[in-house]
Each structure stands twice: as structure tokens, then as C-alpha cells.
Amino acid sequence: MLTIQNLHAGYGSVSVLQDINLEIRPSEILAIVGANGAGKSTLVRAICGLLKTGSGEVRFRDKEITHMPAHLRARAGLAVVLENRRLWGELSVKDNLRLARSVGEKRNSTSTNPYSMNDLYDLFPVLHQRESSLVELLSGGEQQMVAIARALLLQPDLLIMDEPSAGLSPLMVKNTLSVIQNLKSKGMSMLLVEQNVAAIADVADRGYVINLGRLVHEVPQGGWSGFLTNESLFKAYFGG
């Protein structure tokens, strides 16, 4: 679905990502975990085209997209929920979703089962109740739901989420994880980037630890509990 080879990226003369290699297979949830400042959001920005990369290659559905602008990547089927969620705060929930739907309708999705507004309201009933509310007046958890709903209305083949648990109450984290589980059961491919390893250990298939811009440790399928209980390994990358 997505392949990254020898990717380097940074900000001006400051290099952040060093020789990133990874693959996300169809219907797989890959997690990248790391402490604050490790390079997680930089990697997300590089993948979705918001940050120019140095050397290396990014391929999506067998096509090279390394230098493709962000809006064309979205149209090619790569949707992202960014760290700050980037919603249209002065528009209602419904208008945010309608705008995303109109973009989604323009792409030739490979999905045989595209998401409709009603599917999203089934997934997030509270958004149906609040469809006329301005997004800027919603709680953080509700805004997160709008961001995920909007990403899904782009009818993506790969959904990327930057710290889906950040700033949410434990209950909202649980809700978000059950939505992720639900999408997984429908075969959505996902890249989850998280500082909170425990939050995604139950849903992620495989993963990597990122530290100082490098993927330094691989967590294989079924390896999350071992990683979480390996104190020295955990401390090395997350402190504490």
C-alpha cells in the first residue's frame, strides 16, 4: 500500500528524518511510536506531502509520489488526520463533512463500499446530534471525530493519524480505539503515530519505535505486550 525507502527529511538545514524504510501492507495497521520530538509528525508531514523531502522514495499503491503535492496525494487515496486536526472551525459539522464528501466524490476510489454521510453518523452518533453546531464550539473529542469522519469521506485507501489519543479523555480514547478497530475490521489500511504506546498496542499489527528521526526498533506482529513489559527497552526510548 505504502513503501518508504531511504527517506531523509528536515526543516531547512536541520535534518530530522534519517534513512526511513518501512512498508504498510493492505488492511494492515502499522504504528510508529516515539517520545515527544522523536520525529513522528515530521514523518507524517513527509508522507502526506506537507514537507519537502531530501533523498529517498515514497511509493503509494505502486506509484511514486515522492514529489507529488499534498492535494494530489489526498486525491490518490491518502487521507490524514493531523496533530492539530485542521478543521474549518467556523463551519458547522455538516458543512465540514459536506466539503470533504465533495472532494471524495471527485476521486476514482477503489473502494467498492464508499463511506456516506449516514455511515459516518452511524460511526459517530454524537456528530449527527450536533450536525448544525460550529466545529470550533465542540469538545476536543468531538473535533477529533469530525477530523476522522472528514478523512473517511475522502474515501481513502490509507488513513494516517497523528497522535489520535492526544488531548482526549480516557473515555474518548476508548471510543477512538473502537472506531479504529471497526475500520480495521472493514479492511482499512492505517498508519498510527503515537506517543501513548499502551493506547494503540491492542489495535496495531506491527510497528516501529522512532527515536531522533530514525526507526530504531521493530515491534513484530504480536510483539506489543513484550515491548510494553520490557522495561529497559521502554525506558531507553520513552524515559521515565
Ligand X SMILES: Nc1ncnc2c1ncn2[C@@H]1O[C@H](COP(=O)(O)OP(=O)(O)O)[C@@H](O)[C@H]1O
40 counts as binding ligand X under rule CB under 6 A: yes
Q: Which of 19, 25, 37, 221 forms a contact with ligand X (CB under 6 A)?
A: 37
16 in Cβ contact with 213 (< 8 Å): yes
Q: Strands 57-60 and 14-24, how do they pair? A: unpaired
Distance CA 34, CA 142 (A): 25
Q: How many residues bind ligand X (CB under 6 A)?
A: 11
- The binder of 69, among ligand X, Mg ion, none, by C-beta within 5 to 8 A per type, is none
CA distances from residue 21 to 6, 88, 208 in whole angstroms, order as listed:
6, 34, 10
The b-or-e profile of 207-239 (16+ CB within 10 A means b, else e) is: bbbbbebbbebebeeebbeebeeeeeeeeebbe
Site string for ligand X, 9-28 (x = CB under 6 A): --x--x-x------------
CA distances from residue 53 to 6, 45, 47, 72, 193 in whole angstroms, order as listed:
11, 10, 9, 16, 19
C-alpha cell at 120: 459516518
Beta carbon nearer to ligand X, 20 or 24? 20
- Which distant-in-sequence residues (6+ apart) come within 8 Å of 114 by Cβ? 104, 155
143 counts as binding ligand X under rule CB under 6 A: no
Relative orientation angle of helices 140-153 and 93-105, to the nearest 10 degrees: 20
Q: Which of 2, 4, 7, 39 forms a contact with ligand X (CB under 6 A)?
A: 39
Q: Which of 1, 7, 34, 148 forms a contact with ligand X (CB under 6 A)?
A: 34
C-alpha cell at 222: 504480536
Q: Closest separation between CB of residue 117 and ligand X, Å?
A: 31
42 counts as binding ligand X under rule CB under 6 A: yes
- The binder of 96, among ligand X, Mg ion, none, by C-beta within 5 to 8 A per type, is none
Q: Which of 36, 118, 185, 229 forms a contact with ligand X (CB under 6 A)?
A: 36
Query: Binding residues for Mg ion, per CB under 5 A?
Result: 40-41
Beta carbon nearer to ligand X, 86 or 106? 86
Beta carbon nearer to ligand X, 16 or 172? 16
Residue ranges binding ligand X (CB under 6 A):
11, 14, 16, 34, 36-42
